[in-house]
Amino acid sequence: MKGAFFILLSFVGSALLAQDALDTLLESHPSPGIPYISVTEARMLQLHKKAILLDTRTQEEFEVSKIPTAHLIGSTDFSPMAIQKIVRDKNTLIIVYCSVGIRSQKIAQKLKKLGYTDVKNLYGGIFEWKNEDFPIVDQEGKETERIHTYSKYWGKYLKKGIKVE
């Protein structure tokens, strides 16, 4: 019985350490004026079609998997014209995401400068989305466990799913 307790305690402890590491990482990359949104809140808004999700990762990452209904806008090839085709009303709630939330915060700042008024950054990105057991899909819209981790370093924040580099 004691052994089972210590095993359970080690799992809980490692999950808490992983969350602390993510918290520390995101706190070290402040994003003034861009609030975070939890994956749970984002999922509820997505299910009720109350937000547009924009994926700021690379085409290569997006082709492995994405959050359902998300539109690829990238980060290095960001195009204001492409955004205007996806989000016509500048008061629409926009949720941006990447792997963990750093690249997406930069795009969120650009969206604010373009006049979009309700922009939020998904806390922990697609990794946290998957860690919380929310669905991700491949290019055919089928649920998948595969997630592109961008690099081995960033992959440490993905606790569930199949890591693809």
Integer Cα distance of 3 and 16 in angstroms: 20
| Under 8 Å between Cβ of 126 and 133 | no
pLDDT of residue 80: 94
What is the token pair recorded at 24? 């520390």
Average pLDDT of adjacent 10-residue blocks, the chain of 165 residues = 46 49 62 90 97 97 98 92 96 97 95 97 97 97 96 93 95
- Structural domains in the chain? 2-164 (3.40.250.10)
pLDDT of residue 77: 87
| Under 8 Å between Cβ of 94 and 52 | yes
Predicted TM-score (pTM) of the model is: 0.84
76 sits in the region (left: phi over 0; alpha: psi -120 to 50; else beta) called alpha
Integer Cα distance of 73 and 149 in angstroms: 18
Residue 25 carries which DSSP code?
H
pLDDT of residue 122: 98
Contacts of 115 (CB under 8 A, 6+ apart): 90
pLDDT of residue 31: 66
